[in-house]
A = this chain, B = another copy of it.
Amino acid sequence: MFRTKTNGELRLSDAGTQVTLAGWVQRTRKFGGMTFVDLRDRYGITQLVFNEEYDAALCEQANRLGREFVIQVEGKVSERSNKNPNLPTGDIEIIVSRLTVLNESLTPPFTIEDESDGGDDLRMKYRYLDIRRNPVRRNLELRHKFAFEVRRYLDQQGFLEIETPILVNSTPEGARDFVVPSRMNPGQFYALPQSPQTLKQLCMVAGIDRYFQICKCFRDEDLRADRQPEFTQIDCEMSFVEQEDILQMFEGMSRHLFKTLLGIDIPTLPRMTWADAMKYYGSDKPDTRFGMEFVELKNHQPDNASRERVESLFPEGFTVFDSAAYIGAICCEGQAVLTRKQIDQLTDFVKRPQIGAKGLVYARVQEDGSVKSSVDKFYGAETLEALRDKMQAKAGDLILILSGEDAMKVRKQLCELRLEMGSRMGLRAKDKFSCLWVIDFPMYEWSDEEQRLMAMHHPFTSPKPEDIPLLDTDPASVRANAYDMVINGVEVGGGSIRIHDAKLQQKIFEILGFTPEQAQLKFGFLMNAFKFGAPPHGGLAYGLDRFVSLFAGLDSIRDCIAFPKNNSGRDVMLDAPGELDPSQLEELQLQVNLRQD
């Protein structure tokens, strides 16, 4: 070993002992005849001291050290006169007697400090330097512990981690596959798994009973802000279970993770139906760190969420509301103080194309309980007071109202507004956690693009037994035995009970518009396997990157990934992807045919 101790472990009780340390030069300071060097490694920082009076040559050597030089020192642990209470090793310093430069360093392109001066692009290009920074390294440490605790919990519950292959065939339904040409089978391609969904179901057919895997999954999608072409999934499946068993098992896992990694005892997870989540939060992943639930002021449109017809709170008069099929509102506590300008900003916010609202109606509850609104001229005080009462608004509260012809669209707009207000009001602290299950998802959602019903989860999801008769009469209203775990407005995981009955599966394929031949072609190997005694089974999968990001309080999953890709799917550090040698293409019997556009 090049060291006897790390830079994080020496304490006052070690004073007087002789040690050898190694690490990187964080910084050097000259102070009178003394030179101080902060020596850094993964475990911490230790101060080194060189005294010109005692050993001028050694001190001179220290003065020549640059930032990020790798050095080894021998010396004696000594009590500091000027202690640093912010550093675990702050009570001591090392009086150095020998210094060896193990490796020099160019000046790094950004500072290796908690707050760095490097932009994102630079940090990614020199990711190996970025990871030297405490915040990034801590995220990777957390990720390691997180995965380890997942494994510990699942192992204790009798799950087996089964590695499924990466070189598979095209995954049915879903995003685009990455493909891999096979040299040994010319003209044929493997696909990288979008998830091990079918393989884990085969594990259940195989009698594995409890399967899990922390594994890489791949999707060749146009990358949005927080997507990566390769990501990591905690993939789980159990046999002989009902939905309740899965919810219990994985609520237990989350409890274990919160407790062991963050020291937090989370309460029993509330369960919210998908219909309620849409109705009260306009989202299937509601952020329940704060209330501000939607109040429906008018809902004339029958939809999945609610089949009742509600009368409008507003009498005729304001054409926007008159023609709306849906009017929804939130009550923002104490926000009546918002200026006209601030409310205009909110109006601009909801009118942005990404959100798409036509406008924003507001109502302030005054100190005396009276209501002042942007629609004063259309409604009498009585209506506005009815509004106030319906919203359970108090003096000083601000009511924000959106309306439109498509209830689901308005709900999504109102959801964005609610989240924005939550953020502005400081109700979305990253160290506060609110977890829940969203259950009873619809089996299908209508695709405008494909002009057909699509599986909301995937085509193996089981309908709720009581809704099976509706498959024939009103498939769009059938609910699934599907569930998502949502934390702080993030879907960290989701899954379903699967269909294990071949006939029911066939019916579902029909509804999804597959001919028996297409179904056989796409899902044949799974359907064939199911003929040999498939047990009832179900499971779920977590996005590890997201789950860890949430624990780490990160805005992006990137910073809990050691070597992430950018929005063009490039690894700028490795400079991947790259061009192939012509001989490689020839061996693969492939030709690149770039489009002229």
Could you tell me which A residues sit within 8 Å of B by CB distance?
A: 1-3, 22, 24, 40-43, 68-70, 102-106, 108, 126-132, 137, 140-141, 143-144, 147-148, 151, 155, 160-170, 176-192, 199, 202-203, 205-210, 216, 218, 220, 222-223, 229-230, 232, 240-242, 245, 500-501, 525, 529-536, 561-563, 565, 568-571, 573-580, 584, 587-595
Min C-beta distance of A129 to chain B, whole Å: 6
Which residue of the partner chain, among B3, B69, B533, contacts A24 with CB atoms under 8 Å?
Answer: B533
Residues in B whose Cβ lies below 8 Å from that of A525:
573-575
In the complex with contacts A161-B148, A180-B178, A131-B577 CB distance below 8 A = no
B180 contacts A161, C-beta separation under 8 Å: no
Bound Cα distance from A2 to B205, whole angstroms: 16
Q: Are B584 and A589 in contact (CB under 8 A)?
A: no
Q: Is the CB of A160 within 8 A of B141?
A: yes
Q: Closest residue to A183 on the B side, CB-wise?
A: B220
Say yes or no: B180 contacts A588, CB within 8 Å.
no
**Contact partners of A132 in chain B: CB under 8 A:** 206-207
State in angstroms the CA–CA spacing of A177 and B576 once bound together: 14
Q: How far is the CA of A575 from the CA of B170 in the complex (A)?
A: 10
By the criterion CB–CB under 8 Å, are A536 and B180 in contact?
Answer: no
14 contacts between A and B (CB under 8 A): A1-B241, A22-B240, A24-B533, A130-B206, A131-B206, A166-B230, A167-B178, A168-B574, A184-B568, A185-B568, A188-B578, A189-B580, A590-B590, A591-B593
- CB pair B167–A230 under 8 Å, yes or no, is yes
- CB-nearest residue of chain B to A186: B594
B191 touches A576 (CB 8 A): yes
CB distance from A126 to the nearest CB of B (A): 8
Q: Are B535 and A22 neighbours in the complex by a CB distance under 8 Å?
A: yes
Q: Report A528 CB to chain B, min CB distance, Å.
A: 9
B186 in contact with A535 (CB, 8 Å): no
A-B contact sample (9 more), CB < 8 A, given A24-B207, A169-B574, A188-B577: A105-B532, A128-B206, A163-B232, A184-B222, A185-B568, A189-B579, A589-B594, A589-B595, A591-B593
Q: Is the CB of A103 within 8 A of B533?
A: yes
Determine if A532 and B106 form an interchain contact, defined as CB atoms under 8 angstroms apart: yes
Instruction: Determine whether the beta carbon of A68 is less than 8 Å from that of B209.
Output: no
Determine how close the nearest CB of chain B comes to the CB of A595; give it in whole angstroms: 6
Q: Name which of A183, A185, A575, A578 has the most chain B CB atoms within 10 A of its CB.
A: A578
Question: Do residues A184 and B569 form an inter-chain contact, with CB atoms below 8 A?
Answer: yes
**Residue on B with the closest CB to A581?**
B170
Cβ of A561: which chain B residues have Cβ within 8 Å of it? 163
Contact (Cβ within 8 A) A209 B41: yes
Q: A1-B240, A131-B207 are in contact. Are A180 and B166 (CB under 8 A)?
A: no
Q: How far is the CB of A22 from chain B (nearest CB, A)?
A: 5
Complexed CA–CA distance, A180 and B177 (Å): 10
Given known A132-B206, A167-B571, A584-B179, contact A70–B535 (CB-CB < 8 A): yes
Identify the closest chain B residue to A132 (Cβ). Answer: B207
